[in-house]
Amino acid sequence: NAGVMQNPRHLVRRRGQEARLRCSPMKGHSHVYWYRQLPEEGLKFMVYLQKENIIDESGMPKERFSAEFPKEGPSILRIQQVVRGDSAAYFCASSPRNRVGYGYTFGSGTRLTVV
């Protein structure tokens, strides 16, 4: 049973380019959560998605960031026109249901570096 798979593990983008981060949840999990970890900081919630629906995007920056979780395929976190401040580790977690009281499993993260 593969865990939560994130790719790429490392991503380097020049300022102004687009970054696409992918997350495949654990088998049987239909709920995906994205978190961002800035250098020397804890993880901050960004967005919660179910298949084809955004449930809570209150942690997403208002501009340049978007997320989707299509019916088929992985969840995608998209950052347009990246800036140096977007450099961070982006983690994805999944769960089989939206029921508070259920533990999360995290992927290994994607480390984005903007040069």
For the chain, how long is the longest CA-to-CA vector? 40
Chain-centre distance for alpha carbon 94? 10
Please provide the distance, in angstroms rounded to a whole number, between the alpha carbons at the two ends of the chain.
Answer: 36
Tell me which stretch binds another protein (CB under 8 A): 17-25, 54-62, 70-78, 80-88.
54-62
Q: Is 10 helix (H, G, I), strand (E, B) or coil?
A: strand
- Residue closer to another protein by CB (options 94, 114) is 94
- Binding characters for another protein, 11-30, by CB under 8 A (x = yes): --------------------
How big is the site for another protein, counted in residues (CB under 8 A)? 28
Distance CA 28, CA 86 (A): 31
Is residue 104 a contact residue for another protein (CB under 8 A)?
Answer: yes
Count of CB atoms situated within 10 Å of the CB of 85 = 9
Q: Which residues bind another protein (CB under 8 A)?
A: 31, 33, 35, 41-45, 48, 55-56, 58-59, 89, 91, 93, 95, 98, 100-106, 108-109, 111
